[in-house]
Structure formats: C-alpha cells, structure tokens
A and B are shown apart, each in its own frame.
Chain A
C-alpha cells in the first residue's frame, strides 16, 4: 500500500468512526414516533411509555369515530374518524390517564419519561 493509499484508507476509517458515533448518539437522542391502535373498542397498547419529545399517533381502525381525551385536560384529539389518525407530541413528563369521551369504557395510560 502506498503512503497516499494508506492516508486515504485512514481518512475513510476515521470518517466511518465519526459517522457511527454521530449516528449512535442521534439514535439515543432523536425523538421517535409511537403508534397506538384504536381497535375493537380498545387502545392498544393500554399503557405506553415514551420519552419527552416523542410523538404518538393514535390510529382508529374501528368503524366509527373515537377520540383521545386526557382526564385532566392535558390533551384532547377531538373526533378521530374511522380509519383516521391523530398525532400528539409529548412535551411534558408525567403519567396521563386518558379515555375515549365518546365511549367512556375505553381507558388507557400514557407515561412520558
């Protein structure tokens, strides 16, 4: 291997290491999107733990509207039509109990760490 080739190879290795460090750290810090299915009159999963900054998308797979209503008023989707969805970004830590106000037997919990 010539000196020039060696330098190029070393640079490539350095770049690869730097990139993987960036990728690794961003994987830890980057907000993720979670999905909660509304199906068969249930929120699934019934309890979801997320990190602050994460997004949660509720997808309504039932044949009629549902909503997502936090019991203390922290968040409220309004009616989500059949096959529709609603996205919420969790910005405050806490444990949130929510229900479908249209069908109060549907209850679930969102935990923001």
Chain B
C-alpha cells in the first residue's frame, strides 16, 4: 500500500513533468491551441478525480475539498471554453494533454481499488502532487509560451486558484497523517 501513491503520482504527472522539463522528452514549446488543450485536459482530470472522491471519500473535509475541486475546475474550464471560442482556437491534443488524460485515468483506476482512509490519503496525496505539477507547468512552460494576450491573461488569472488548492490540499494532507 505504501508504494502505490508513488506509482500513481508518477504516472499522473508524467505529462506535466514532460511539459516542465521539456528536454527529457525533447518537446517543442506548445502553441496556443496545444496550451488550450493542456488547460482543458488538466482541469478535466481533476474534475473526474474530484467526482469520484466526492462519492467515495470518507472524511468530511476530503469530501468537501473534492466537491470544491469539481466546482472550481469546472468553472475554469467553462471560462477557458468561452475564451477559446471567442478567439477561435480549437484546443489541440498534444503528447502532454494525452499523457495528462492517461495519468488521470490511471489515477482513477488505482483510486477505485481503495476505500476508507487509504482512499482519502491517496486522493489527497495525488491532489498535492497534481496541483504542484500544474503550477510548475504554468510557471515554466504555459504562461511563457502563450502568444495570445487573452490566453496568457487567463493562465495568469487561474494561477492563484492552483496555489490556494495546493495549500488547502497540503493542510488536509497534514491532518490525515
């Protein structure tokens, strides 16, 4: 049981790490359509995990956090959807977005094998790692490469939410120890 979170974390954030590291996978800088695709994928992955945790988590605080993740990341995706429509950008899949989705699916598959406190811990551990990885991607890759000013602005506006979610998740993580 102890080794599982590490494994699933590794899979789930592989895409983001690739986006951050760049050289590890030698990926070219993402264009705006790919950045939009990464934003949509990143939010969707956390919405899906949140929906599962909302239903399965046993701790009240974990359940409430999961619900909040669903609400907030759905809100971000709605805003992102409205913007890309306005800008006429079709979100494009890339290796990063695909890897994110794959990581998200693997995470959910693992979480489905857990219950009770083990589920709560695995979900929250993953949320800490996930939000940190998205923050790193925003700071090192996504914001810097966004060409369209409104897309860049959206990424900048979204950033504080990831910081707050990360702090919130870390707070819960500490209480679960």
Contact = CB atoms under 8 A, between A and B. Distances in A.
B108 to A, nearest CB: 22
Contacts of B164: 41, 103, 105-106
Interface in B151-175: 157-161, 163-165, 167-168, 171
A103 B168 contact: yes
A27 interface: no
Between B68, B160, B168, the greatest number of chain A beta carbons within 10 A of the residue's beta carbon is seen for B160
Nearest to B68: A102
* Chain B, interface SS category: helix
* Chain A, interface SS category: loop
A46 interface: no
Interface stretch (B71-79, B112-120, B125-133): B71-79
A62 interface: yes
B79 to A, nearest CB: 4
A21 interface: no
Interface residues of A, number: 13
A65 B78 CA distance: 13
A74 interface: no
Interface of A: 40-42, 62-65, 82, 102-106
Interface of B: 68, 71-72, 74-76, 78-79, 157-161, 163-165, 167-168, 171
